[in-house]
Amino acid sequence: MPDLKRAFPHFEEPIVKIQDKIDRLLDSDPGSPIVTKLQKERDKLVKKIFSSLTPWQKVQLARHPMRPYAMDYIESVFDDFVELRGDRNFADDRAIMGGPASLDGTTVMVIGTQKGRTAEESVERNFGMPHPEGYRKALRLMKIAEKFSFPVVTLIDTPGAYPGIGAEERGQAEAIAKNLRDMMEMKIPVIVTITGEGGSGGALGLGVGDKILMLENSVYFVCTPEACSAILWRDASKATVAAGTMRLTAADLLELDVIDDVVPEPPGGAHWNRQDMYDTYKKRLKHHLGALKRTSSENLFIKRYEKFRKMGVFENTKK
């Protein structure tokens, strides 16, 4: 269960209130028939609230402070994870972590952006906003994976690549661009999952692969709704409106043919039943990896190329 003292979005409030009551009762009178009644009430409420989430509410869920992060998936879905650090050039970026791990006996290279949960951790992880060395570390790990024929699994949850002086000096644009090109050419299967926030180029820098998955309540966007509203509406308070028109939810992206699969989340979102989330994700991941195993590396490139090449919608007047 989530820590109720943490910040949560407003629309979750009624659910959290009932849960609070249930927890108190379970403490004092676990056999009480009221508990079952309250639980039923809670489940009904969850269903009601979550069946009609607005895009902005999904943004809030994707950013939920209790949402599982890359490290949580790594610990719960994989075994024997060994973290590999550094880009062999400048530094180790803590906003991206990765290394080999076992997925039921198959070695895969897992790479993910990592947000922090405490204030201290958030600073250490730079709020999940990578510097160029993070993208370069990720690419180094992918090249190792390619060398030893390990499939690559990337887990994305970032507000975006960090906009700072050092990041610019060390070539943030180049680092992301190079990943886009080189991930396209990877001779091993690459499975991308947006687990929370898919923040623009910072997300795409780990986001080129054979299958693109999104968790049900995750979002993926060209720029944050806040930035979009500030620029296009010239009014930062229009973020909710912007979110509504940007089409950034998993369902939207599936419809736009940008992603391949939406991984369902437990009622109330991934943070309400983490184990259930990990189990579902693991099943889906194994399914996609299994399907890609039989594809030759040359065919992987051809299909991956076609997949991205056809993205976009435009008019072509004379055919």
Partner 1 sequence: MNSKKNNVPHGLFKRCPKCDYSIYSKELQLSLWVCPKCDYHFRLPARRRIKMLIDEGTFKEYDSDISTSDPLGFKDIKTYPEKVSEYVKKSGLNEAAVSGTAKIGGYDVSLCVLDFYFMGGSMGSAVGEKVCRAGERALRKKIPFIAVSASGGARMQEGILSLMQMAKTSAVIAKLDKEKIPYFSVMCDPTTGGVSASFAMLGDVNIAESRALIAFAGPRVIKQTIKQDLPPDFQSAEFVRDHGMIDIVVDREDLRGELIRLLRLFSGKPANK
Q: Does position 296 bind partner 1 by CB under 8 A?
A: no
- Give phi and psi for 153, each to the nearest 5: -120, 120
Stretch touching partner 1 by CB under 8 A, among 15-23, 38-46, 75-83, 248-256: 248-256
Interaction mask 212-231, partner 1, x per CB under 8 A: --------xxxx----x--x
**What single string gives the DSSP state of each residue in 108-119?**
EEEEEE---SSH
260 binds partner 1 per the rule CB under 8 A: no
Instruction: Check residue 181 for interaction with partner 1 (CB under 8 A).
Output: yes
Nearer to partner 1, 8 or 220 (CB): 220
* Strand 219-221 versus strand 96-103 pairing type: unpaired
Stretch that binds partner 1, among 81-89, 149-157, 260-268, 311-319 (CB under 8 A): 311-319
CB of 134 to partner 1, least distance (A): 13
Considering the rule CB under 8 A, would residue 254 count as an interface residue with partner 1?
no
Of 80 and 169, CB closest to partner 1: 169
Among 74, 204, 250, 285, contact with partner 1 (rule: CB under 8 A): 204
Collapsing DSSP states into helix, strand and coil, what is residue 3?
A: coil
DSSP letter at 264?
A: P
> What is the Cα–Cα distance from 159 to 285, expressed in whole angstroms?
24
Give DSSP secondary structure letters for 37-79: HHHHHHHHHHHHHHTT--HHHHHHHHT-TTS--HHHHHHHH-B
Q: Residue from 60, 114, 154, 172 that binds partner 1 (CB under 8 A)?
A: 172
23: left (phi over 0), alpha (psi -120 to 50) or beta: alpha
In the bound state with partner 1, the residue whose beta carbon lies nearer, of 5 and 309, is: 309
187 belongs to the binding site for partner 1 (CB under 8 A): no
207 binds partner 1 per the rule CB under 8 A: yes
Please, what is the minimum distance in Å from the beta carbon of residue 269 to partner 1? 21
User: Among 98, 109, 81, 185, which residue's Cα sits nearest to residue 136?
Assistant: 98
Look at residue 283 and give its three-state secondary structure. Answer: helix
Residue 100 β-bridge partners? 109
Residue number, 2 or 207, with CB nearest to partner 1: 207
Residue closer to partner 1 (CB basis): 86 or 166:
166
Shortest spacing between CB 12 and partner 1, in angstroms: 26
Nearer of residues 15 and 59 to partner 1, judged by Cβ? 59
User: Is residue 180 within 8 Å of residue 205, measured between CB atoms?
Assistant: yes
The DSSP result for 124-166, as a single string, is HTGGG---HHHHHHHHHHHHHHHHTT--EEEEEEES-S--SHH
- Position 248 contacts partner 1 (CB under 8 A): yes
Q: State the DSSP code for 265.
A: P
Query: For 59, phi and psi rounded to 5 degrees?
Result: -60, -45
Q: Does 178 interact with partner 1 (rule: CB under 8 A)?
A: yes
Between 13 and 255, CB nearer to partner 1: 255
Q: How far is the CB of 252 from partner 1 (least distance, A)?
A: 8
Q: Which residues bind partner 1 (CB under 8 A)?
A: 161-165, 167-174, 176-178, 180-182, 184-185, 200-201, 204-205, 207-208, 220-223, 228, 231-233, 242, 245-248, 252-253, 256, 258, 304-305, 308-309, 311-318
